[in-house]
Amino acid sequence: MSRKPRPFTDDPMAPDGGSARGDLEAEFGAHGQVVMPGDAEAPILTAPVRAALHQWLFEMNAEAELKAVGLKPRTRALLQGPPGCGKTTLAHHISARLGVPMVVVASNAMISKWLGETGQTIGKLFRAARRNQYGIGLFFDEFDAMAKARESLGQQGADNERSNITIALLQEMDRYDGLMFAATNVTKNIDPAIWRRFQLQIEIGFPGPAERFAIVRLYLAPFIADDATVTALAEVMGGASPALIREACEMIKRSLVLGPRMNLSTDLPAIMERFVASAAPAEGVPEPLIWGEQRRRCLQLLAEAPWPPVRP
């Protein structure tokens, strides 16, 4: 009995029908995690990145017009930047805007598991992706692990195997015209031939003051803080990733809700001191402002900000 695919999204841009989560998991579960369009959130990004993405989304929906002048929409993007700045969130968001589910492949895990299989499993993954009639987004996380430059590898064992994986990847990318993302925080190792096959290279770095303001406001919701307070929080979180800012906001909300019952101060500087004491920023990147030498000034700024926020 053939099962009719059922729609997976209300997105007006989605194609008719689509694949059910269960079917996709049966097909792609061995390769990675399947994420459906419905769960996607839009990341907050800088204006130039937003503009570049806007154009890209537009052209993916204008295939016929591009074809008339001998062009195809770009479908492969390399996302670079530090952890927690929105690479996965962005790929998921774009897949969702196009109405397709995304398969998240952890490149690192794949390699150790596949050692000795000479990229055959890469072939299987891409074949499954090509076969899926409604389309999927392929997302390779930690891509540097898989796409390491061949000249940086030796000739022996595991390195040789990795080189085979790189070659398999090149061949598959040439035969796949679906949506594909790769994310990495170290680009210098990526094989130049693989690098060239990405039509977009998007840098998703740490947010600036305006983005931090928007991120703080987003993650403080449903609490509504004074603009001056949001500005102060955005300032003391200078140099932090959106993921860390989100954690800080969640700590604030948790403290506002539970603090009184636990006899903990719900003053903003006190909450943020507890946060700094209990959260470590990512390794290998400069410390955000409130973690560093300027902590006292940061706490002072927070002490001067209007508090508490309104809870509608």
> Which residues make up the interface to Mg ion (CB under 5 A)?
87-88
88 binds ligand ADP (CB under 6 A): yes
86 binds, among Mg ion, ligand ADP, none (CB under 5 to 8 A by kind): ligand ADP
* Binding residue for ligand ADP, selected from 85, 100, 111, 136, defined by CB under 6 A: 85
Q: Write down the least CB distance from residue 201 to ligand ADP, Å.
A: 15
Binding to ligand ADP (CB under 6 A) within 164-183 occurs at 183
To ligand ADP, the closest distance from the beta carbon of 205 in angstroms equals: 10
Which option in Mg ion, ligand ADP, none does residue 279 bind, with CB closer than 5 to 8 A by kind? none
Nearer to Mg ion, 206 or 213 (CB): 206
What is the strand order of the sheet 102-106 is part of?
33-35, 102-106, 137-141, 179-184, 76-80, 200-203
Considering only residues 225 through 264, tell me which ones interact with ligand ADP, judged by CB under 6 A: 242-243, 246
Q: Strands 179-184 and 137-141, how do they pair?
A: parallel
Query: Which of Mg ion, ligand ADP, none lies near 84, with the C-beta cut-off 5 to 8 A by kind?
Result: ligand ADP
**Given the complex with ligand ADP, which of 216 and 299 has the nearer CB atom?**
216
Residues in 65-84 that interact with ligand ADP by CB under 6 A: 83-84
The least distance separating ligand ADP from the CB of residue 131, rounded to whole angstroms, comes to 27
Binding status of residue 288 toward ligand ADP by CB under 6 A:
no
Binding residue (CB under 6 A) for ligand ADP from 18, 37, 43, 119: 43
Residue 19 or 80: the one with the smaller Cβ distance to ligand ADP is 80
44 binds ligand ADP (CB under 6 A): yes
Which residues of this chain interact with ligand ADP, rule CB under 6 A? 43-45, 83-89, 183, 215, 242-243, 246
